[in-house]
Amino acid sequence: MRYEKLSKCYDELSSTTKRLEKIEILSKFLEEIKKEDSDLMYLLEGRVYPAYDERKIGISNQLAIKAISKSIGINSKKVVTKWKKIGDLGEVAKLLTKTKKQTTLASHVLTTKKVIENLRKLTSFEGKGTVEKKISLITELLTSASPVESMYLTRTLIGDLRIGVQESTIKYAILKAFFKNNKEYEENIQRAIDKSNNLKEVFEFARTGKIEEIDKVKLEVGKPIKRCLQ
């Protein structure tokens, strides 16, 4: 799936504070996700791994600023100045991308798969040259990003997605998208989330539209479960 499509969904979700509207928006989006793109379920929570996985993207504001300035071709001080004025580094990335001075041959259509691939690599670097490697991976994404994509990429990087979506929102969206909002199945979905602690796994079972598939989610040795599991 194109990252542009996910970014548009983010935009719609952030445009309302009403819970039911968010569920409606998200349920329609979930219906369009193919199994091969199911990793993007993590991106809906600003993650790239399941909730039980301790690996975090962990990009500081300072590192994000360097990547933004490099991808756009301006001095990082100008990025900082805009940030101090606007207060949202994602909005800064969006604004500056609109006035991007440079285009590169490396620019290409972003996909959610590519975004997840690069963001996961960020969690694996250690030792000498780590900062440079991280900036290179982020810049690769930002160089190809549209203004809106740049905003949500930056927010994801620094852990501040700002779309007002919680795990419960995703649960009810799954219920609406694949089980016709049948409240009798809410507990089954919650139980699957608690056992797996993995929204991708729950989504893959749920998209079949068969509640017996959801009930196949089992506890796994060595995989942490959610504390709310009864």
Amino acid type, 204: E
pLDDT the model gives residue 105? 43
Class of domain 61-157: mainly alpha
- How far, in Å, CA of 157 to CA of 90, rounded? 10
Cβ-proximal residues to 158 (8 Å cutoff; 6+ apart), any chain:
59, 60, 61, 64, 89, 90
What are the distances in angstroms from CA 5 to CA 1, 33, 148? 7, 10, 11
Structural tokens at position 195: 């056992």
pLDDT the model gives residue 107? 59
| In the chain, ranges of CATH 1.10.3260.10 domains | 61-157
Amino acid type, 175: L
Chain centroid to CA 54: how far? 16
pLDDT the model gives residue 229? 42
- How far, in Å, CA of 173 to CA of 25, rounded? 8
Chain centroid to CA 218: how far? 25
pLDDT beneath 70, residues of the chain = 101-107, 226-230
- How far, in Å, CA of 57 to CA of 124, rounded? 9
Structural tokens at position 88: 């949202």
Give the phi and the psi of residue 216 in degrees, each rounded to 5: -80, -15
* pLDDT tens, position by position, 75-127: 999 999 999 999 999 999 999 999 875 554 455 789 999 999 999 999 988 77
Listed residue (3, 207, 4, 25) closest to 113, CA to CA:
3
pLDDT the model gives residue 75? 94
pLDDT the model gives residue 230? 44
